[in-house]
Structure 1
């Protein structure tokens, strides 16, 4: 693990594998709420075997990344700025070719990938959007995040929030059948600080989070897009089906012949690269290698 000091003075924890092997195309992995970059360990091994190098990093208050003084100040735009600053420090924001061969994001990391791609056209070649909502729930008249933050604050730890999240993401059957992986994931999630949980929830609650107008513009910003979602991830297969339609319209209007595919991972939940690992790898690796 390495630490980078952002222009704001905050720190961001990250890892850049095969940093000194620029012949390997670069893949960036972006996390969900309450997770950290070690979630991706098995995926990273496959990416290395396929000839890629990988950038992993942690959101504010996750892993060793610090939080802003104002916990309500975090937005998807500020998170995108953090990533851009890190990539600049790593020397990846100059040059004629895309800095990132691929961005794979899950949940808020997927929403962030869309924001980043539109803010920095041409920096991402292949965008893989996994298990994500399209906009802040507050724009639809509800707020699941506020009560979760309040409950975690009242409890004084992330333990209850982690237990509830494990149930929501994976369910009892998978947890019982995969005790070692479930224990590893739970342990990583418990390292999220209360401040980190609140400040990242603030980004999800912020009414500026609305990616719906951006989906049609992705064709002008990246070369290719693929969407992936767990079959059991609440209503997200439907939400991401609508998302795929909008992205495809943008590609059609831009005169690109690419088919934007939505892959549904059987029996997987919200973090489909963990409980749907094998099918997830089959969905993303060939796409990145084309």
Structure 2
């Protein structure tokens, strides 16, 4: 049976998560920059210094703000490049069809604007799939990849539906997001394009087998967006992969048990 996924905003549903960090990540003029990638300007913020690490948030309702705990932990020792992906936050939607190839190009445009070094990459959900694609298309740019909540995906395996109260444009959190968007009038157009994109995307053996860098594949045990079997399939297809499953957590595993997620990430970063 197909999984029917009705997306809900992680920041709304996970208890104990602060939506008002001391720094407003994703809307911080002191750290914000733009890189031009084809038909869109992509917004990103840079924190700290050291080895560069790129952070990629989740799709649709995701934002740089959800990366708050990662940024706070990483910036004392790394140069953190937190990207608002195409159509999210302050980044433009552009006019071309949405593909992971296009999204990968966006990320590399940002990387090239910041550093000539290769980077570590950490992505969640849509950001993890983008990370897979960057690692495949641009192997010289990615030293290591941490992919959270993103398993094997083929058309028909799941049905993505954007519906319900969280997708009411009058929702307070959407109003806050709309205030950042360069083209807020295109929000529902963007949702429609992304719904089609997610229901037709493929991430399987051809992609995973082409990734040469070490990859930490991570998931919550109870993730409904990326069921455990699909995550294990991805792990088995990636040549240099490690697997971390956090018990009794769902898709937004790092908000539900950040300590466990961080404990898995630290040795992967160090070795």
Please report the TM-score for the alignment, with normalisation by the length of structure 2.
Answer: 0.75
CA distance, structure 2, for counterparts of residue 245 and residue 76 of structure 1: 21
User: CA separation of 1:117/1:188 partners in 2, compared to 1, >3 Å: closer, same or farther?
Assistant: farther
Which residue of structure 2 aligns with residue 41 of structure 1? 68
Please say if 1:243 is aligned against 2:267.
no
User: CA separation of 1:115/1:210 partners in 2, compared to 1, >3 Å: closer, same or farther?
Assistant: same
Which residue of structure 2 aligns with residue 174 of structure 1? none
Which residue of structure 1 aligns with residue 107 of structure 2? 83
- Tell me which of 62, 65, 82 is aligned to 1:56: 82
Residue-by-residue CA offset, 1:238-258 (whole Å, 9 max, x unaligned): 1111111111xx34xxxxxxx
Please say if 1:16 is aligned against 2:46.
yes
User: CA separation of 1:132/1:7 partners in 2, compared to 1, >3 Å: closer, same or farther?
Assistant: closer
CA distance, structure 1, for counterparts of residue 150 and residue 263 of structure 2: 20
Point out where structure 2 has 5 or more consecutive residues left out of the alignment. Answer: 1-27, 179-186
Structure with a larger share of its residues in helix: 1
Q: Tell me, what secondary structure is at the counterpart of 1:187?
A: helix
Point out where structure 1 has 5 or more consecutive residues left out of the alignment. Answer: 163-185, 252-259
User: CA separation of 1:161/1:79 partners in 2, compared to 1, >3 Å: closer, same or farther?
Assistant: farther
Please say if 1:65 is aligned against 2:91.
yes
User: What does 1:133-172 align with in structure 2 at a 5 Å threshold?
Assistant: 133-138=151-156, 140=157, 144-145=159-160, 147-148=161-162, 151=163, 158-159=167-168
Considering Cα pairs closer than 8 Å and 6+ residues apart, tell me whether 1 or 2 has the greater RCO. 1
Residue-by-residue CA offset, 1:25-79 (whole Å, 9 max, x unaligned): 1111111112101111111111124x11211111222111121235xx1100000
Shift of 1:161: 11
User: CA separation of 1:5/1:29 partners in 2, compared to 1, >3 Å: closer, same or farther?
Assistant: closer
CA distance, structure 1, for counterparts of residue 152 and residue 247 of structure 2: 22
Q: Tell me, what secondary structure is at the counterpart of 1:200?
A: helix
Structure with a larger share of its residues in strand: 2
Which residue of structure 2 aligns with residue 128 of structure 1? 146
Which residue of structure 1 aligns with residue 188 of structure 2? 194
Please report the TM-score for the alignment, with normalisation by the length of structure 1.
Answer: 0.71
- Tell me which of 194, 199, 204 is aligned to 1:205: 199
- Tell me which of 263, 271, 274 is aligned to 2:244: 263
User: CA separation of 1:28/1:5 partners in 2, compared to 1, >3 Å: closer, same or farther?
Assistant: closer
Residue-by-residue CA offset, 1:113-172 (whole Å, 9 max, x unaligned): 11111101121111111111323434x4x5x23x42xx47xx8x823898xxxxxxxxxx
Residue-by-residue CA offset, 1:172-215 (whole Å, 9 max, x unaligned): xxxxxxxxxxxxxx9379726434433433432344x3343121
Please say if 1:232 is aligned against 2:222.
yes
Give the number of the structure whose alpha-carbon radius of gyration is greater.
Answer: 1
Moved over 6 A (4+): none
CA distance, structure 2, for counterparts of residue 14 and residue 133 of structure 1: 26
User: CA separation of 1:133/1:126 partners in 2, compared to 1, >3 Å: closer, same or farther?
Assistant: same
Q: Tell me, what secondary structure is at the counterpart of 1:214?
A: helix
CA distance, structure 2, for counterparts of residue 114 and residue 122 of structure 1: 13
CA distance, structure 2, for counterparts of residue 225 and residue 8 of structure 1: 28
User: CA separation of 1:196/1:31 partners in 2, compared to 1, >3 Å: closer, same or farther?
Assistant: farther
Q: Is the 8 A contact 2:220 2:251 kept in 1?
A: yes
